[in-house]
Amino acid sequence: MKKIIKTDAEWKAQLSSEEYYVARQKGTERPFTGRYWDHNEHGIYRCVGCGTALFASDTKFDAGCGWPSYFVAIDGDNVREETDRTHGMLRTEVLCNVCDSHLGHVFPDGPPPTGLRYCINSVSLTFEPIKP
């Protein structure tokens, strides 16, 4: 896997201010405000930073949390998990493994078959529609 590395100035030129805040500074968008939290089209959700395929629409579910949620990544090699101890909590952060963009967090309270809930910021994603 080839890593994408850019300078801070290059990221700022490529991303909107909100995308930069979330993807590069590990921010979080407000719940129920993102473009994909209630999005139901068929397709692929990709990394806003590099276009890597991250999640498929058929793994998306309504977790009631206000962020798009998925029970599995398209390819486990495309996402990376790290321990996040910020805000007085212990969580598992999810990042794009290609460009290191912050995506969100993964929790062990999702549906079968994985029991996982990848809780992802909409602003960290783009969407590629695919006709069923």
Give catalytic residues, as residue numbers: 119
> How far apart are alpha carbons 36 and 4 in whole angstroms?
25
Residue 104's nearest CA partner among 112, 92, 116, 113 is 92
Residue 96's nearest CA partner among 35, 11, 32, 37 is 11
